């Protein structure tokens, strides 16, 4: 079993994640709160009230879990290609798989990673939305969750084990097709500027990886908004009854534009994050032979 693909998936994911987390926090806040006028307003308010640390809220669990999530994604992707085309990753440069196979493998990887990602993503979103500064003025109420573990335990106690998977269905719908698009875009762009049988250059990998991130996030953004809202709603009375209910009531109350909230920031974040993810992934796999 190609263990190195799982490890490469983890290290590359963690690097990308740290880089993109501040933008991710701004995005989550814009998608789920109505107090900000736009990106700049959100950045300024977050910085004033919570300092630079505010942008890094909710990062520790994603870093710890990206190991599992990305190794499932890249590992399942590679194993599905192995099953479909009978080629290992070393052989795939000489015998490239068809884009249909790449798409199926990407969707399979996307589908499988959701079940690892869902609880960690939920905790991340809940912590990112806590706008209380770390040093609170005396007398002000403490934030609802004291940290990731407290957050996980509280959700478990208040909403039961299923509560930890709130928004998981929306996440499945968001990630299954869009990770197919992700790997197809990456492979297609790499092959455009690489001679047959050769490894793509670092510049090619950076551009193809970054573009794969943008393409997949552009398609994923509407369901990303729905997912974040379902995750924040919890069991509050009047909360959405499900994905469809959330789609309909968000559109009714805020217009169709609501589905594109976070699109600019998702794209800005997606390029560097996924350029770094693919560059380190390719680099690690090559250096391990
Ligand atoms: C499928 N979807 C577009 C949601 C994500 C694809 C890129 C995943 C990467 N870890 C990132 O955070 O950018």
Specify which of 26-30, 70-74, 128-132 reaches the highest per-range mean pLDDT.
26-30
State the Cα–Cα distance between residues 237 and 254, nearest whole angstrom: 20
220 lines ligand 1 (CB under 6 A): yes
- Give the residue-averaged pLDDT of 162-172: 94
Taking only the tens place, the pLDDT of each residue in 18-69 is 888 999 999 999 999 888 999 999 999 999 999 999 999 989 888 888 878 8
C-alpha–C-alpha distance, residues 25 and 58, integer Å: 8
Q: Which of 128, 268, 277 to mutate to test the pocket of ligand 1 (most atoms within 8 A of CB)?
A: 277
Distance 142 CA to ligand 1 centre (A): 32
Element housing 165 (H / E)? none
pLDDT at 183: 97
**Lowest-confidence region among 82-86, 105-109, 219-223, 278-282:** 278-282
Of all residues in the chain, the percent with pLDDT exceeding 90 is: 56
**Ligand 1 centre distance from Cα of residue 105 (Å):** 15
Kindly give the distance from the C-alpha atom of residue 269 to the centroid of ligand 1, in angstroms, as a whole number: 10
State in Å: Cα 66 to ligand 1 middle.
11
Taking residues 240-264, report their average pLDDT.
Answer: 91
Q: Are 225 and 262 in contact (CB under 8 A)?
A: yes
- Compute CA 235 distance to the chain's CA centroid, rounded to the nearest angstrom: 24
Q: What is the pLDDT of residues 81-111, one digit of tens each?
A: 999 998 887 788 888 999 999 999 999 999 9
Ligand 1: does its nearest atom lie under 6 Å from the Cβ of 213?
yes
Number of domains in the chain: 1
Ligand 1 atom closest to the CA of 266, numbered from 1: 13
State the pLDDT at residue 1: 42
Cα of 213 vs centre of ligand 1, distance in Å, is 6
| Average pLDDT of the residues in 181-210 | 94
- Top mean-pLDDT range of 16-25, 53-62, 214-223, 259-268: 214-223
Residue 119 clears pLDDT 60, i.e. is over it? yes
Tens of pLDDT, residues 236-250? 666 888 899 999 999
Residue 235 has what pLDDT? 61
Task: Measure 217 CA to ligand 1 centroid, in angstroms.
Answer: 7
Domain of 10, CATH number, reads 1.50.40.10
- Confidence class for position 212, pLDDT limits 50, 70, 90: very high
For residues 6 and 73, the answer to whether their CB atoms sit within 8 Å is no
The answer to whether residues 177 and 219 touch, using CB atoms and an 8 Å cutoff, is yes
Atom of ligand 1 nearest to the CA of 175: 1
Instruction: Please tell me the predicted confidence (pLDDT) of residue 200.
Output: 92
Per mean pLDDT, which range of 27-31, 224-228, 270-274, 280-284 is the poorest?
280-284
ipTM (interface predicted TM) = 0.96
How many Å separate Cα 146 from the centre of its chain?
A: 23
DSSP string, 58-116: T-HHHHHHHHHHHHHHHHHHHHHHHHHH---TTTTTTSPPPHHHHHHHHHHHHHHHHHH
Q: What percent of the chain has pLDDT over 70?
A: 95
Q: Is the dihedral of CA 208, 210, 213, 218 positive or negative?
A: negative
Q: Is 171 in the pocket of ligand 1 (CB under 6 A)?
A: no
Q: State residue 147's pLDDT score.
A: 87
223 lines ligand 1 (CB under 6 A): no
pLDDT, the chain, mean? 89
The predicted pLDDT at position 2 comes to: 59
For residue 161, the enclosing domain spans 3-288
């Amino acid at each position: 079993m190609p263990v190195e693909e799982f490890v490469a998936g983890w290290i590359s994911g963690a690097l990308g994640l740290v880089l993109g987390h501040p933008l991710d926090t701004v995005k989550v806040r814009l998608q789920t709160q109505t107090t900000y006028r736009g990106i700049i307003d959100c950045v300024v308010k977050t910085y004033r009230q919570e300092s630079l640390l505010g942008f890094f809220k909710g990062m520790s669990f994603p870093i710890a879990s990206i190991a599992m999530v990305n190794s499932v994604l890249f590992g399942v992707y590679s194993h599905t290609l192995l099953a479909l085309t009978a080629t290992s990753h070393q052989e795939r440069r000489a015998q490239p798989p068809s884009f249909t196979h790449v798409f199926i493998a990407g969707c399979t990887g996307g589908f499988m990673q959701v079940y690892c990602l869902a609880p960690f993503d939920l905790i991340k979103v809940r912590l990112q939305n806590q706008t209380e500064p770390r040093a609170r003025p005396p007398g002000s109420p403490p934030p609802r969750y004291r940290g990731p573990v407290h957050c996980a335990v509280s959700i478990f106690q208040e909403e039961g084990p299923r509560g930890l998977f709130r928004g998981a269905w929306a996440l499945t719908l968001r990630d299954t097709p869009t990770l197919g698009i992700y790997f197809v875009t990456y492979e297609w762009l790499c092959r455009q500027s690489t001679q047959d049988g050769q490894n793509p250059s670092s510049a090619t990998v950076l551009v193809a990886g970054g573009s794969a991130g943008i393409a997949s996030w552009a398609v994923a953004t509407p369901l990303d908004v729905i997912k974040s809202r379902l995750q924040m709603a919890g069991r509050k009375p009047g909360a959405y009854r499900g994905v469809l209910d959330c789609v309909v009531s968000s559109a009714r109350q805020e217009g169709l534009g609501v589905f594109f909230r976070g699109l600019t920031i998702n794209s800005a974040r997606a390029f560097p994050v996924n350029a770094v993810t693919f560059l380190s992934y390719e680099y690690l796999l090559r250096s391990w032979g």
